[in-house]
Chains A and B, each alone.
Chain A
Amino acid sequence: MAAKRTLELALATPGLDAEGRPARIPLVADASAGEPDLRTDHMLINIGPQHPATHGVLRLVVELDGEVVVRVIPHIGYLHSGFEKLGEYRHYNQIIPLTDRTDYLSAPANNVAFALAAERLMGIEITPRCTVLRVIACELSRIISHLVWAGTTAIDIGAFTVFLWMFQERERAYNLIEAWTGARLTTSLTRVGGLMADVPDGWAERLREWCVRFPKTLDEVDRMLLRNGIWLGRTQDVGVMSAADAIAYSLSGPMLRASGVAFDVRKDQPYLGYETYDFEVPVGERGDVYDRYLVRMEEMRQSVRILLQALDRLPDGPINVNDPRVILPPKRSAMSDMESMIHHFKQIMEGVPAPVGEVYFPVENPKGELGTYLVSDGSAKPVRWRIRPPSFLNIAALPKMAEGHLLSDLIAINASVDIVMGEIDR
């Protein structure tokens, strides 16, 4: 049994002995020792698709040898809505509400991802204020998504308090999103060439207040979990993915970085001017559930850093490009001015045609690399709108991570992946 790892902290730790092991908590799951040798048949159990531990309508068919998972066969598709097919029948701006419903825990980031891809396809350069506001939207959704992840993962592993604390902060963040967009989950924030709305008066100050107060909750949660013997026992060396495996299985986002691969689209293929922000990319060492927790907690702190920098530099000016081909005219002129009315009519009825071409635009979403692959034949509707879904590829590696572990570890591993079924099934 390897010694438990602990983190260097300023506080003394009464729960640890001299070698840094949790002193009073002999919670060691050793599947091989002390088991009576009962030669029994393997068991087939079905978890889900409606099960609180599967985070949506994921269904796992598990073959068990006693309590040890021999095989996991995930079944997906229960939330399949055919978004990609629908997108082929929609104008580019009409697709944005569909992106809300893919990863519904970080809808603003999805909206931004799609708008960026469509803008590259059409050759549109967005305004400086829009760029910074989109960064704010992306980082706020990263925090919200990670908060949900931390809360639900903790509740799966048995820590209820964390769930309440995280969801309280999430509600405060959603109040900000709601004040901006009018919606909490289905924000439809962006438009091709700009945003649906500018932030209301005083919003930046509210966000700044929240950014200052919110990291205290992270510190409190860290104090609950970081050296908690039950948490360590349930997460360390559970669901390990090596760096080579993580690359081979095309993991992305926190899952890839927890395995020690420092790839972050924001750093390596920057968009929205991320190269001008000062932030770190946290990387794990072992690729277990514990490292995924550490990486996501640190990502939230880094997102707060980015948010504060974005607020400092938020420029004045328009949020939409000055291009009547793609941006709807103001309501007042559409109702009173002939030319604006024609633009309004043509955009609504015919859409905005994109030139022939194709683009793959990756962004770093909370769950991982969200790629938008758009193929245009010159019409106002894409020939192909493909979402490269990060949750889909991350959960595809679940059998690799969970096989050989205990059934209870399967729940922890599944939780650590951070899936959202809207994106997996699309």
Chain B
Amino acid sequence: MTPNPSVATLRARFGASVVRSAVVLGDTIVVVAADRSHEILAWLRDDPDERYDYLVDVTAVEYRDRELPLEVVYQLRSLPRNACLRVKIALAKDADLVVDSVVDLWPGANWLEREVWDMFGVRFRGHPDLRRLLMWETYDEGHPLRKDFPLRGRFSRSEQVRRALGADLRAHYSLEELSIAEAAAALPADLRARLAAAPPTDPR
């Protein structure tokens, strides 16, 4: 199986920023450097010969082997060319897990990136609203799809119940929403601080 021709043009254009490529079960995979990922994805979307205009999915993979890096995976599709490409960014786990957001390229990435932040703790630089998505905003057991997260959660069942019963229902609104109803000022100081601290908008 020959690799997708996009790989050769990517290598010619971005050189060493294309770390490696592979064809696995017929799908072409390109691993790119995190510092130029946004530039490469924008080029793949806009170049007239590439036109990967449809973002199928954004997700992440953490391997059971602790030596392997965590990967952020973009599934791209070109609707005009009916071609697919999988772009990956490998992130060393001992460094900060940060990549550039692609919400400005594909608005559909908004929730996908929020889910990856929620589930894996990867931050997306430049995301307009990087809040937890599936878990609630004040959830503090960590990121559930990480391999070091136990299947039943970090807290015991009784601790989870205790926290659920003790939760302040106003925490189910974001600060932005509370500001519409002018209710943010009435919050207890500690809850306001926790809500404000939940999304680190600029991780650097």
Contacts and interface: CB of A to CB of B under 8 A. Distances in A.
A80 interface: yes
A42 B24 contact: no
A242 interface: no
A261 B79 CA distance: 9
Q: How large, as a class, is the contact surface on chain A?
A: 35 or more
A396 interface: yes
A63 B107 CA distance: 21
B56 A371 contact: yes
Interface stretch (B11-19, B133-141, B154-162, B186-194): B133-141
A83 to B, nearest CB: 11
B181 A44 contact: yes
A383 B73 CA distance: 14
Given A61-B177, A377-B65, A393-B108, A360 B134 contact: no
Q: Which 9 A-B pairs have the closest CB atoms?
A: A250-B108, A77-B134, A396-B111, A44-B181, A249-B108, A388-B57, A80-B134, A44-B180, A384-B61
Interface in B104-123: 106-112, 119
Interface in A379-394: 379, 383-384, 386, 388, 392-393
Interface stretch (A84-92, A284-292, A403-411): A84-92
A371 B76 CA distance: 12
Contacts of A21: none
B27 to A, nearest CB: 6
20 contacts: A63-B180, A73-B177, A76-B134, A77-B133, A85-B145, A121-B25, A247-B53, A247-B54, A247-B79, A250-B56, A250-B106, A250-B112, A261-B79, A263-B79, A269-B84, A383-B61, A384-B62, A386-B59, A393-B111, A425-B134
Given A250-B56, A250-B106, A396-B111, 11 more contacts: A63-B177, A85-B144, A86-B151, A261-B79, A357-B24, A371-B57, A375-B61, A377-B65, A388-B59, A396-B108, A397-B108
Contacts of B93: none
Given A44-B177, A85-B145, A383 B57 contact: no
B55 interface: yes
Interface of B: 24-25, 27, 29, 53-57, 59, 61-65, 73, 75, 79, 82, 84, 86, 106-112, 119, 133-136, 144-145, 149, 151, 172-174, 176-177, 180-181
Nearest to B65: A377
A426 B119 CA distance: 12
A360 B28 CA distance: 11
B111 A392 contact: yes
Contacts of B110: 396
A359 interface: yes
A388 B180 contact: no
Contacts of A393: 108, 111-112
Contacts of B62: 383-384
A369 B180 contact: no
Contacts of A77: 133-136
A42 B65 contact: no
B135 A358 contact: no
A421 to B, nearest CB: 11
B64 A377 contact: yes
A184 interface: no
A379 B82 CA distance: 33
A242 B64 CA distance: 43
Main secondary structure of the interface of A (DSSP, over half): mixed
Given A63-B180, A89-B151, A373-B57, A359 B27 contact: yes
Nearest to B132: A77
A268 interface: yes
A362 interface: yes
Contacts of A400: 107
Contacts of A377: 63-65
A61 B180 CA distance: 11
Interface in A410-426: 425-426
Contacts of A384: 59, 61-62
A359 B151 contact: no
Interface in A46-86: 61, 63, 71, 73, 75-77, 80, 82, 84-86
A301 interface: no
A250 B134 contact: no
A244 B73 CA distance: 24
A157 to B, nearest CB: 26
Nearest to B82: A268
B24 A358 contact: yes
Given A357-B25, A393-B108, A400-B107, A42 B180 contact: yes
A330 B174 CA distance: 56
Interface string A19-57: 000000000000000000000001010000000000000
B51 to A, nearest CB: 11
Nearest to A70: B180
B172 to A, nearest CB: 7
A248 B108 contact: yes
Most A CB contacts (10 A, CB to CB) among B25, B73, B135, B149 go to B25
A120 interface: yes
B96 to A, nearest CB: 22
A386 B86 CA distance: 14
A120 B108 CA distance: 28
Contacts of A80: 134-135
A243 to B, nearest CB: 10
A326 to B, nearest CB: 17
B146 to A, nearest CB: 10
A82 B119 CA distance: 10
Contact of B63 (A248, A373, A383, A397): A383
Contacts of A249: 106-108
